[in-house]
Structure 1
């Protein structure tokens, strides 16, 4: 799959190599930002609404998206993805498909989750 001509640009935010603080503790390094143009973005969950609320002394909203990135895009379970102004966690392992019959490729599909509250 090539870039979708009317797709959105999302940004993969990959954790940087760990460094050590003054006490010898590992701390996360500066993240790397990787723009990915031509992605499809859609709401995700069973109802199509894209969000679930859990209320237990406060309102927590889980909002989900699915992104369809061009084949070969390197998205990892440890990445975060910026869509619009929001930063989502990758849920599980992204997947992709290449047909053994035709060699045609599909998108890299990743589930994303944004937790607020």
Structure 2
């Protein structure tokens, strides 16, 4: 799949490479890298699915989700975040890749994005 002609540009925010280690041996990430990806499709996900809304300690927790359709070949990792319309979302799991069994052409990279509030 090529970039969608009327798609929007999203930004992948990738954690920087380890810039050192703390006193416990855990890596300290360097500055984040921002990668613009033009020609993406973004669609809302059902927020009422299992676990979509719940009440924890008298506070409502709302999980807001989107589905991202990025051009074929987009490098999207589970540790990335994605900025859509100025709002930062986390990648929920591994992005999927589709190849047509009929033509062999590559389809979009599909990823679930979520933002938790509350």
Runs (4+) off by over 3 Å: 21-25
Question: CA offsets per residue over residues 33-77 of structure 1, 9 Å max, x none?
Answer: 0000000000113759xx932122212110000000000000001
| Aligned counterpart, 1:34 | 35
Is 1:8 the counterpart of 2:12 in the alignment?
A: no
The alignment's C-alpha RMSD in Å is: 2.1
Alpha carbons 2:44, 2:67 under 8 Å: kept: yes
Which stretches in structure 1 are left out of the alignment for 5+ residues? none
Query: Relative to structure 1, is the Cα distance of residues 21 and 97 closer, same or farther in structure 2, using a 3 angstrom cutoff?
Result: closer
Q: State the alpha-carbon separation in 2 of the partners of residues 22 and 33 from structure 1.
A: 24
| Aligned counterpart, 1:67 | 68
In the superposition, the TM-score normalised over structure 2's length comes to: 0.86
Alpha carbons 2:47, 2:65 under 8 Å: kept: no
Superposition map of 1:1-117 within 5 A: 1-20=1-20, 23=23, 26-45=27-46, 52-56=52-56, 57-117=58-118
The structural deviation recorded for 1:101 is 3.6
Question: CA offsets per residue over residues 68-111 of structure 1, 9 Å max, x none?
Answer: 00000000011000001211110111011122441222100000
